[in-house]
Amino acid sequence: MISPTNLLDRTYVYSQSLDNSGRTDCWVLSENEEYKRIDTSKQNMSHLLDTIDQARSKGRRWSIGNKSIVFYVLLNGACVVRVKPLTLDVNGRLSYVQIVTNFRSKNRIAAADTLGKLAEITGRVTDGSEVKVAARCKKILKLPLWLIIVHIVLFSWRFSDD
């Protein structure tokens, strides 16, 4: 089960399924650095979905992404990376992929690695910019935590949800 404690130390990849069945796909980065598909029952996913909603509605938009990759952060450490893939669902609509992590976590660099491997993990086609953004993100996440927080304060802003 995904709990607030798990969100502190793990990296998750979340997306809607492309067949419009209403299902969702979710992977977690395990301790041995493998991506495992997890149960997406409503009970299991509630905290993850709440984190995504809070980051998108109350967070700050961190300017280390680009037009197709947007970072939303909360100062408690929650970070949601929304990636706009080129792959469309069966009705031709966009189906964003979201990475959920915690920038205060000791495993925070894994989120940048996950971004760089997103097409491989999800099987979706991207514009390729995630590799460059992942490298920039990795540089920032290697900094001491206090410098990351300063970077977020200086290079993020509150916004109305887009």
**124-156: pLDDT as tens digits:** 888 889 899 999 999 999 999 999 999 999 999
- Confidence at residue 5, expressed as pLDDT on a 0 to 100 scale: 52
pLDDT of res. 2? 57
How many CB atoms are closer than 10 A to CB 125? 11
Residue with the bigger pLDDT between 5 and 102: it is: 102
- Cα 90 from Cα 18, distance rounded (Å): 6
What is the mean predicted confidence (pLDDT) over 91-104? 89
